[in-house]
Amino acid sequence: MTMKNQITSALSDFFFEYETPRQVLVRNRRVGVVCRLIQLGVLVYIIGWVFIYEKGYQSTDTAVSSVLTKMKGVGYTNVSGIETVWDVADYVFPPQGDSSFVVMTNYIITEGQKMGKCPELKGMHDCTSNADCVGGSFKRTGHGQMTGVCVNKTQTCEVLAWCPIEDDHTIPNPPLLISAENYTLFIKNSVTFPLFGVTRSNLVEGIDGNYIGKCLFHPKKEPLCPIFKLGDIVKLSGFSFEKLAQEGGAIGIVVDWTCNFDVDVKHCKPEYNFHGLYGNPSETDSASASVGYNFRYAKHYMEDKIPKRTLLKVFGIRFDVIVKSLARKFDIIPTLTAIGSGVGIFGVATVVCDLVLLYLLPKREFYKNMKFKYTDTQTQVSSVSLL
């Protein structure tokens, strides 16, 4: 047989012949039941988990989002006969309307501080002589640089600092700005799903200026209202407002956009959830090593050409607006991929049943002979030579 004929025969076999494996039909109830049960399990997995629960026939996308916030409300305090009205410019930090901000609910104020020398607070750096106060050194929890002098009257080291020293051992209780419970928060959120070319706002259909002017969020009655009372937010997160307001804390406001674009886009609406990001509502204050949320800021001014400042230690509730998004839409590619993987998993039934047939059943040798065809190489060579 010439090389040309061999090549022609090989190409003819490749293009014009079809090979299929030989199958053996086994009439065995136990093996048949095992096979069908496995196939049923695979079918339930494909339909129930892949297609219904995981929605494997859809492609997914997450949103690019922006958040704007605006606070409204007025607070009033009367400390030592000094009446003060607090508005948004006084109790919101920062004031730009970011997605993360702090609302002041309590404070300790130290007025008229100026740079000078004064004794440390009791317990900060106690001393009995000047030797206990190393001049020019600092203590991590101290308020200034030690001068090397021990003040006999207070039995504490003298420091160069802003005097008088802030005394924050006693936190006002009840909170000075407990009225913050009635402040309102307006959230404006827009999301864009680039893969599907869809843009949505939490000011959905039916929400206009008149509605916003009179609505207040309620999880059941007004679930789409973008105006929230701070007291309601804290309550829905599982905390007591008064307890949280005294020493501060953190609350997460989650705007959840879970959308199915196989239906009309107008059905894509946000859901609001609230979570305490600091501590556990069931814990007592003594259960935590560091309680609350606070920071300091100072208002500087000049008095008789002497620079002075008013120092505030602010206790507040930090609000973080977190956008969570997931959009789905039918796509033929993930659908075919899910179907293909499901068909492949059906092969598990064949593998398991073959193992049972060939290694576990009493007639396994019989089944092996039926399934496999054995050839003797030496016999085959002899037959060919005889030809």
Binding-site residues for ATP sit at 70-72, 184, 294-296, 313
Which of 76, 147, 139 lies closest to 118 in space, CA to CA?
Answer: 147
Three-class SS string for 39-89?
Answer: HHHHHHHHHHHHHHHCCCCEEEECCEEEEEEEEECCEEEEECCEEEEECHH
> Which residues make beta-bridge pairs with 189?
67
CA angle at 261 for the pair 256 and 265, rounded to the nearest 5°: 80
Q: Which residues are annotated as a binding site?
A: 70-72, 184, 294-296, 313
Long-range contacts of the stretch 366-373 (C-beta < 8 A, 24+): 367/24, 367/26, 370/24, 370/26, 371/24
Q: Is the Cβ–Cβ distance between 190 and 65 less than 8 Å?
A: yes
Q: Is the Cβ–Cβ distance between 243 and 235 less than 8 Å?
A: no
Polymer length in residues for the chain: 387
Place of tokens 């307006």: 186
In terms of Cβ atoms closer than 10 Å to its own Cβ (0-12, 13-18, 19+), residue 243 is middle
Which of 82, 89, 101, 269 lies closest to 185 in space, CA to CA?
Answer: 101
Place of tokens 């995981």: 54
Q: Is the Cβ–Cβ distance between 136 and 158 less than 8 Å?
A: no
